[in-house]
Amino acid sequence: MINYASREINCKLVYYGPGLGGKTTNLEYIYSKVSPDQRGKMVSLATETERTLFFDFLPVDLGTIRGFKTRFHLYTVPGQVYYNASRKLILKGVDGVVFVADSQIERMEANIESMQNLYDNLGQYGYDITKIPFVIQYNKRDLPNAAPISELQAALNPGWPVEDPAKQKEVPDPWHPGELLVFQQNGVWIERAPYFESVAITGEGVFETLKAVAKLVLKTLS
């Protein structure tokens, strides 16, 4: 959405993932650190088991696009599957997605189910996860029962085939030295989504995740 009166481009970011994985904690931490004169009011739509949060803010450090400032609208979705109608509605008009995975080993099945649900809901709107700004955050890395990153990557971020010959070349991961976002595996070119480790309750990795998805969104606009 472009507001010509205020010369702002409005971008919608949705935090997706299983229940109690850390989506709300991410938004609450970001909200607490953004200057009050740069942010709108936080709106909370509460259910018995989980909340949908929303607020907008205008980051000053991302610059302008053709003279327009960029205002980001951040949303969380309810984690439970039976709120799927709400989750699907919140995805409408999305510009970028952050999938917040719960690193605990016993939550792996819930992560996989939620990731599949994200793919299904985006597909119903005609969105292609491989073509929209998308990052994964592995939250709760401080817990003793956190699964290794390699296992989480294999289950949730195995990658997708790169069909375009022009893009079939190694692309380094700028956030993880020595790792690749695009690579060849068994003769097939694969692209993975960028990922971040976090402890959202302390803020570790929260802004790194946000900045990464915001930059990807701005890249699609420029």
Q: What is the distance of C-alpha 132 from the center of its chain?
A: 11
146-152: long-range pairs with CB below 8 Å, 24+: 146/103, 146/104, 146/105, 147/103, 147/104, 147/105, 147/108, 149/195, 149/197, 151/108, 152/101, 152/103, 152/108, 152/111
Which stretch of 62-71, 154-163, 170-179, 205-214 has the lowest confidence by average pLDDT?
A: 62-71
Task: Supply 94's token pair.
Answer: 């999305």
pLDDT band at 61 (very low <50, low <70, confident <90, very high): low
* Average pLDDT for the chain: 91
54-58: long-range pairs with CB below 8 Å, 24+: 55/27, 55/31, 56/10, 57/30, 57/31, 58/8
pLDDT tens column, 168-196? 999 999 999 999 999 999 999 999 999 99
Q: How confident is the model at residue 80, as a pLDDT?
A: 67
Q: How confident is the model at residue 85, as a pLDDT?
A: 79
Q: How confident is the model at residue 108, as a pLDDT?
A: 98
Q: Which residues pair with 190 in a beta bridge?
A: 161, 183
- DSSP-based three-state secondary structure for 57: strand
pLDDT band at 57 (very low <50, low <70, confident <90, very high): confident
Handedness of CA 103, 176, 27, 91 (dihedral sign): negative
Q: How confident is the model at residue 59, as a pLDDT?
A: 80
Q: Give percent of the chain with pLDDT exceeding 90.
A: 72
Q: How many CB atoms lie within 10 A of CB 10?
A: 18
Structural domains of the chain ordered from first start: 2-157+193-221 (3.40.50.300), 160-192 (no CATH)
